[in-house]
Amino acid sequence: MTVSPNKRVWIYDTTLRDGSQQEGISLSLEDKLKIAHKLDELGVPFIEGGWPGANPKDVQFFWQLKEEPLSQAEVVPFCSTRRPHKTTENDPMLQAILAAGTRWVTIFGKSWDLHVTEGLNTTLDENCAMIRDTIAFLRSQGRRVIYDAEHWFDGYQNNPDYAMKTLETAVEAGAEWLVLCDTNGGMLPQMVSQIVQTVVQHFDIHPNDESSPKLGIHTHNDSDTAVASSLIAVENGATMVQGTMNGYGERCGNANLCSVIPNLQLKLDYFCLEDQQLAKLTPTSSLIHEIVNFAPEPHSPFVGQSAFAHKGGIHVSAVERNPLTYEHIDPSVIGNQRRIVISEQAGISNIVAKARTFGINLDKKDSICHDILQRTKELENQGYQFEVAEASFELLIYEMLEQRESMFQLKGFQVNCDMLRGEQALLSDAVATIKVGVNGEDILEAAEGNGPVSALDAALRKALVKFYPDIADFHLTDYKVRILDSTSGTGATTRVLVESSDGKQRWTTIGVSPNILDASYQAVVEGIEYGLSKVLRRLPI
């Protein structure tokens, strides 16, 4: 594919370094390797792997990639400039960078005089010398350098002459990319636009001119404008965007590449990824959520489960006739899919369209469609919410069609829960005993858990796993409880949502009852039943 240099944007992913600084993320070496290979498959040209001089895990990561090399991406180590009044040749951090054995290296330096004098406690001239010496040393060792100008925008606003001098120093020393960083995330898009234009004019930057440096943008999302600022920087001359998958990052996160990439490619006609790679964006986003053990945000633009969800009956009818009526892009081009949401607002069109996504073809004129709709509205009136529990709704359709398989029968269960005083808090020690019938055989099992629902789930799985071995791969990933009529006090109706996973996909089931254990049991059982139904039918979840 031939791409005009004026329309090529290089994506630089820093999920493994900047993204891993998000609160709650702790990546193992194996996690980092999995994510790197997935980003490589996605077609990301630059993957920042970490700071080898800062921790042993990142050293091992670069060593391991020599044994398991990426197919097309440039893996890049990250490091600061040398320390004040030290030499580059004896700097252990730079030696670790060289030992990573990569073609490209990213070095960050100070742009803001405030950080130089108060953070580094050195002079402005020494900071420029640190930038110059570090880049020149790495160039002498055969490395190509991306220079991240940390706190660039704040530095420029405070002292534009000095901030520009740091960039000039980086270019003179041999940096090929100048990346302007909104490290505090406080810039608004119009500020970014004006300052990027100034840099482009100062260095006479042209995308197709090899003699001029190339410009990149690195934004944080503290003002909720990281994606917008990245886009406007590209419109004004930046040809590299640094960001993270799913917008991970410290504080409020970084520019979300899951939004940056499709906006650039599908809306602004820039080239970021091949079409077949762009179609992997949604599954890659979901897989990385799984690896970092974060539940996917359903309302994320482009890649969220609800990004192309349609609930109102009028909307569904319109989308069925022409998707352009309520969809800004074809979801399939980024690997997502249209979802028809079922709720008390649903019409026959919702039922038919939703059933089709399950592989069930219904005729609108068939009375069963009306029966399913009425049953759905009755259950929603009781407190069920099928728009967030699609697995339960699929089971309901099969039940109404008299095609729901009976895999086991509950004969009874008992849960005993003791509250024990620990050193710092009360501990819940629960034991559940359950009796189920499978293939005419009654099974009695007991299991412990850290609460009644955990114990009940463990006992049920223990009873069934000998008949259905695939259950060993199933596990609960989320459990939510909501009181529906709080004025009823302890007799209120409870809605329980259980999210289950087989390690690859997630699905949600629901239970409603005045008894929280009964509601939990309903949701847990349907979660297991749904997973098994897919396994037995050899269908994707």
Q: What one-character-per-residue DSSP string does 251-311 give? A: TT-B-BHHHHHHIIIIIS--B-S-HHHHTTHHHHHHHHHHHHT----TT-TTTSTTTTEE-
Residue 325 clears pLDDT 90, i.e. is over it: no
Name the residue among 414, 388, 338 with its Cα closest to residue 499.
388
- Residue 540, helix vs strand vs coil: coil
Contacts of 461 (CB under 8 A, 6+ apart): 447, 471, 472, 474, 528
- Nearest alpha carbon to residue 486 among 478, 477, 495: 495
- pLDDT 10s digits, 418-473: 766 555 555 567 899 999 999 889 999 999 888 888 888 889 989 999 899 999 99
pLDDT at 144 over 80: yes
pLDDT at 346: 67
Over residues 365-373, mean pLDDT: 91
| Mean pLDDT of the 42-64 span | 94
pLDDT at position 129 is 97
Using 50, 70 and 90 to split pLDDT, how confident is the model at 340? confident
CA nearest to 535, candidates 468, 460, 448: 468
Choose between 350 and 1: higher pLDDT: 350
Express each pLDDT in 217-233 by its tens digit.
999 999 999 999 999 99
Measure Cα distances from 326 to 310, 318, 323 in Å. Answer: 8, 8, 6
Average pLDDT over residues 157-166: 97
Q: What pLDDT does residue 496 have?
A: 92
pLDDT at 263 over 60: yes
* Interstrand relation of 309-310 and 240-243 (parallel, antiparallel or unpaired): unpaired
The band of 99, judged by pLDDT with boundaries at 50, 70 and 90, is very high
**Which residues, including other chains, have CB under 8 Å from residue 160's CB and lie 6 or more apart?**
none
Please report which residue ranges of 100-159 form alpha helices under DSSP H.
Answer: 113-114, 124-140, 152-158
- For 480-514, the pLDDT digits (tens) are 888 877 566 666 788 999 999 888 888 999 999 99
Instruction: Report residue 78's pLDDT band, with 50, 70 and 90 as the boundaries.
Output: very high
In this structure, is the dihedral angle defined by the CA atoms of residues 276, 2, 9 and 36, taken in order, positive or negative? Answer: positive
Torsion 92-98-100-105 (CA) sign: positive
The Cα–Cα gap between 317 and 395 comes to: 24
Say what the pLDDT of residue 35 is: 96
Range 15-273 classified under CATH 3.40.50.300: no
Measure Cα distances from 39 to 12, 103, 291 in Å: 10, 18, 13
Q: Is the pLDDT of residue 195 over 60?
A: yes
Domain 409-537 CATH assignment equals 3.90.950.20: no
What are the domain boundaries of the chain?
15-273, 309-400, 409-537
Joined together, the tokens standing for residue 67 give 């044994």
Return the higher-pLDDT residue of 505 and 8.
8
Q: Is 70 exceeded by the pLDDT of residue 519? A: yes
